[in-house]
Amino acid sequence: MKLSDKLEILADAAKYDASCASSGAPKRASDGHDGGIGATTGMGICHSYTPDGRCVSLLKILLTNFCIYDCQYCVNRRTSNVPRARFSVAEVVKLTHDFYLRNYIDGLFLSSGIIQSSDYTMEQLVAVARTLREEHNFRGYIHLKTIPDADPALIAEAGRYADRLSVNIELPTHDSVSRLAPEKNVHTIKLAMGSIRRKLDEKAEEPKAPSFAPAGQSTQMIVGADASDDQTILNTAETLYGSYKLKRVYYSAFSPIPHSPDSVPLAPPPLLREHRLYQADFLLRGYGFTAGELMPKSGNLALDVDPKLAWALANREHFPMDLNRADAEMIARVPGIGLRNAKRIVELRRLRRVRWEDLSRLRCSMKKIAPFVVTADYKPAQGLASSELLRRHLGAPQEQMNLWPELKAA
């Protein structure tokens, strides 16, 4: 098979993995005295865009889409009737090297189906990273998917060459993994996450120790492949962040595939649900929210309003909030005010009282913040309005259904 044909198959097979961001890598460049190629920062990268709008600046491929596992939600499962291909280690190295020199990418995201055994597959992934680093002195970003069942020594070696490691938990509950991916084991997945965390902690305690995955570790959960609601997903994410110090949990809306088994849905979840989970996840990581605050009851996140606005509408006792008295953490919980502007507001108070025009100069979302804040010269007339009324006013506008969709398409 031609290399271009392999690339077409294995790049397309990798699109279902969302965790390909390159944030958190250390700065490396090829302008030092010891030569080398590539960089983890810099301009001039020709980004590509996936069909759902994600911006990708990494060569994102699978080593192979052959797999000995039969995970029901996976297009590359053992019983799936899809074209198969496999790269050699040398071919992945050549593609990464050539694509970087052509300014197409600034790094590599490499995953794989399981072939022969977990250890064999992990050895192949590590060989790619080791060859790029040691033989080609590649300084760009490398993200390796680790195989949970692989020997811990192989995972430790992977962390010496890769900027980020990830172990996909795939589904938020043990029961769902047992039902849809019976050959996988949640306990084994968490053991792998734990071993990576221990290595990261050892490096943090001893700065002179060899580098180990400086951009940390991440994982991915598939949304809509099972009956788990958003409360369950966010509770699982919160536990993972606390237990394994993950940099990110990525969420990927389930995509039905041809000839899917009856064990998975025939229709995908709304993409907006995936978006709302990312918004809620950001509130967990950056704003001090807990999963219990965002989802006190079972069910899914609201689609018509973002999670912060939904929390504010459900907790009106905190509002309207006096921006000249509240601390930065609470100000950041106001819909329409982010972390940076919350700090700026507190800094401004050292000079004078905050006024309404100051919020406009900070480019806050004026429509959204209006019912929730008090300034030196402003008090909302909507302050006593019901949450339902505010929800209709601030939520996404309802769209009129088209009576003749064929005319719209034409």
pLDDT tens digits, one per residue of 131-165: 999 999 998 889 999 999 999 999 999 999 999 99
What is the C-alpha to C-alpha distance for residues 166 and 153, in angstroms, rounded to an integer?
16
Per-residue confidence band for 20, with pLDDT thresholds at 50, 70 and 90:
low
Q: Which amino acid is at 109?
A: F
Residue 142, H or E segment:
strand 141-145
Rg (CA), the chain: 24
Model confidence at 45: pLDDT above 50 = no
Instruction: Please identify which residue in the block is written with the tokens 């590539």.
Output: 38
Model confidence at 32: pLDDT above 70 = no
CA–CA distances in Å: residue 238 to residues 134, 156, 248: 37, 25, 11
Least confident of 49-58, 159-168, 261-270, 356-365: 49-58
pLDDT tens digits, one per residue of 249-267: 999 999 887 777 888 998 8
* Cα atoms in the Cβ-side hemisphere of radius 13 Å centred on 161: 26
- In the prediction, which pLDDT does 261 show? 85
CA–CA distances in Å: residue 271 to residues 221, 260, 276, 336, 389: 14, 20, 9, 23, 26
* Cα atoms in the Cβ-side hemisphere of radius 13 Å centred on 260: 17
Q: Do residues 214 and 196 lie in contact, with contact meaning Cβ atoms separated by under 8 Å?
A: no
- In the prediction, which pLDDT does 44 show? 26
- In the prediction, which pLDDT does 36 show? 54
Least confident of 122-136, 220-234, 293-307, 392-406: 392-406
Per-residue confidence band for 22, with pLDDT thresholds at 50, 70 and 90:
very low
pLDDT tens digits, one per residue of 259-301: 778 889 988 899 999 999 999 999 999 999 999 999 999 999 9
Residue 294, H or E segment:
helix 291-294
pLDDT tens digits, one per residue of 87-131: 999 999 999 999 988 888 888 999 999 999 999 999 999 999 999
What is the C-alpha to C-alpha distance for residues 120 and 297, in angstroms, rounded to an integer?
44
Q: What does the mean pLDDT of the chain come to?
A: 87
Nearby residues of 184 by Cβ (< 8 Å), 6 or more positions away:
69, 71, 148, 170, 177
- In the prediction, which pLDDT does 15 show? 80
Instruction: Please identify which residue in the block is written with the tokens 């491929």.
Output: 61
Q: In sequence order, what E strands does 181-241 have? A: 217-223
Q: What is the DSSP letter of 132?
A: I
Measured CA angle at 369 (ends 367, 374), to 5 deg: 125
Q: In 3D, which of 148, 83, 68 has the Cα closest to residue 116?
A: 68
Model confidence at 55: pLDDT above 70 = no
Cross-strand partners of 143 = 109, 164
What is the C-alpha to C-alpha distance for residues 162 and 132, in angstroms, rounded to an integer?
10
Q: In 3D, which of 137, 145, 62 has the Cα closest to residue 100?
A: 137
Q: What is the DSSP letter of 258?
A: T
Q: Do residues 263 and 179 lie in contact, with contact meaning Cβ atoms separated by under 8 Å?
A: yes
Torsion angles phi and psi, residue 303, rounded to 5: -90, -20
Cross-strand partners of 267 = none
Tell me what percent of the residues of the chain surpass a pLDDT of 90: 70
Peptide bond into 320 cis (omega under 30): yes
Mean pLDDT of 69-91: 93
What is the C-alpha to C-alpha distance for residues 345 and 331, in angstroms, rounded to an integer?
9
Q: Which amino acid is at 265?
A: P
Model confidence at 173: pLDDT above 90 = yes
Burial class (CB in 10 A: 0-12, 13-18, 19+), 266: exposed
pLDDT tens digits, one per residue of 305-353: 999 999 999 999 999 999 999 999 999 999 999 999 999 999 999 999 9
- In the prediction, which pLDDT does 48 show? 41
Other CB atoms within 10 Å distance of the CB of residue 145: 25
Structure tokens at 378: 């402003």
CA–CA distances in Å: residue 231 to residues 172, 302, 386: 10, 11, 25
